[in-house]
């Protein structure tokens, strides 16, 4: 009989990371399951000790509202409950990434592409080009206060840098047709980025105007 080989465990999904993170943060607080349940009950959720136990064992999921309340109880951010301490992670069953990337994405620090996984073979395939991430949509999807903070200076800085780069490329001495083609392609790429920055600055102006109009 051939020896059975245990398959390599898959990286945890956010709901799976929640189990270990709840247990870890609860222990760091020095709280029992009863204490966590009592604090959740004070916030309006009918949790008992067995509720906490089932969540930690993966026998019960949590709603979005419960997740936010649980993070409040533990004194952590909701993202801290959904990202494992280290190692690989999964955004979805077929999208793998690192815990660092997942954390930066969940906390609004960057857009995350992740690696696509073959659902049958569970083998990571070629990750998408990071440039394919729609930076404009990602920023506009953030809450207004995050969007305003992230674009306060970045849009103008990027535009100034783009202008300087285009001027430098336009003034370069080109000897061959290939050189000219590469320079034109580089300029086109820079101008595409400039269009995104201009669109973000326009959206920023609209958001600020709407906030000023509010009583």
Query: What pLDDT was estimated at residue 101?
Result: 82
Query: What pLDDT was estimated at residue 154?
Result: 66
| Domain tally, the chain | 2
Residues found in the chain: 215
Query: What pLDDT was estimated at residue 116?
Result: 45
Beta carbons of 81 and 23 less than 8 angstroms apart? no
**Owning domain of residue 101:** 14-128
Q: Which of 52, 54, 89 is nearest to 70 (CA)?
A: 52
63 plus 81 within the same structural domain: yes
Buried b (16+ CB within 10 A) or exposed e, 59-93: eeebeeebbebbbebbebebbbbbbbeeebbbbee
27 plus 109 within the same structural domain: yes
Task: Pick the range with the lowest mean pLDDT from 14-23, 42-51, 117-126, 178-187.
Answer: 117-126
Compute the C-alpha angle 130/133/139, nearest 5°: 125
Q: State which of 128, 143, 175 marks the end of a domain.
A: 128
Task: Pick the range with the lowest mean pLDDT from 41-45, 73-77, 80-84, 131-135.
Answer: 131-135
Query: What pLDDT was estimated at residue 57?
Result: 95
Query: What pLDDT was estimated at residue 215?
Result: 62
Query: What pLDDT was estimated at residue 183?
Result: 79
124 plus 22 within the same structural domain: yes
Query: What pLDDT was estimated at residue 50?
Result: 97
What CATH number has the domain bearing residue 91?
Answer: 1.10.260.40
pLDDT mean across residues, the chain: 77
Query: What pLDDT was estimated at residue 112?
Result: 47
Given the structure tokens 């103008």, which residue do they identify?
156
Query: Binning pLDDT at 50, 70 and 90, where does residue 34 land?
Result: very high
Q: Which tokens belong to 40? A: 């959740």
51 plus 92 within the same structural domain: yes
- Decide if 3 is inside a domain: no
83 plus 154 within the same structural domain: no
Per-residue pLDDT reduced to its tens digit, 92-127:
888 888 888 888 788 766 544 444 444 444 433 333
What's the farthest any 2 CA atoms get from each other in the chain?
77
18 plus 113 within the same structural domain: yes
Check pLDDT > 80 for residue 18: yes
- Decide if 8 is inside a domain: no
Query: What pLDDT was estimated at residue 138?
Result: 61
Per-residue pLDDT reduced to its tens digit, 141-199:
666 666 676 666 666 777 777 788 777 877 777 777 777 788 788 888 778 777 777 77
Q: State which of 79, 101, 128 marks the end of a domain.
A: 128
- Decide if 107 is inside a domain: yes
Q: For residue 96, what is the enclosing H or E element? A: strand 95-98
- Decide if 2 is inside a domain: no
20 plus 122 within the same structural domain: yes
């Amino acid at each position: 009989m051939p020896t059975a080989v245990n398959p390599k465990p898959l990286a945890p999904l956010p709901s799976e990371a929640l189990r270990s993170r709840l247990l870890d943060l609860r222990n760091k607080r020095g709280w029992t399951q009863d204490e966590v349940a009592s604090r959740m009950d004070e916030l309006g959720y009918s949790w008992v000790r067995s509720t906490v136990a089932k969540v930690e064992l993966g026998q019960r999921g949590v709603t979005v509202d419960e997740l936010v309340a649980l993070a409040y109880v533990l004194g952590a951010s909701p993202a801290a409950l959904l990202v494992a301490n280290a190692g690989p992670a999964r955004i979805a069953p077929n999208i793998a990434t690192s815990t660092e990337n997942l954390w930066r994405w969940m906390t609004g620090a960057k857009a995350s592409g992740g690696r696509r996984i073959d659902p049958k073979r569970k083998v990571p395939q070629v990750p998408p080009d990071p440039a394919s991430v729609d930076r404009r949509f990602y920023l506009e999807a953030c809450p207004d206060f995050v969007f305003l903070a992230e674009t306060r200076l970045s849009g103008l800085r990027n535009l100034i840098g783009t202008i300087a780069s285009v001027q430098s490329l336009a003034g370069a001495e080109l000897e061959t047709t290939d050189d000219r083609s590469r320079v034109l392609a580089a300029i086109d790429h820079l101008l595409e980025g400039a269009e995104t920055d201009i669109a973000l600055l326009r959206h920023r102006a609209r958001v600020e105007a709407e906030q000023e109009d509010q009583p």
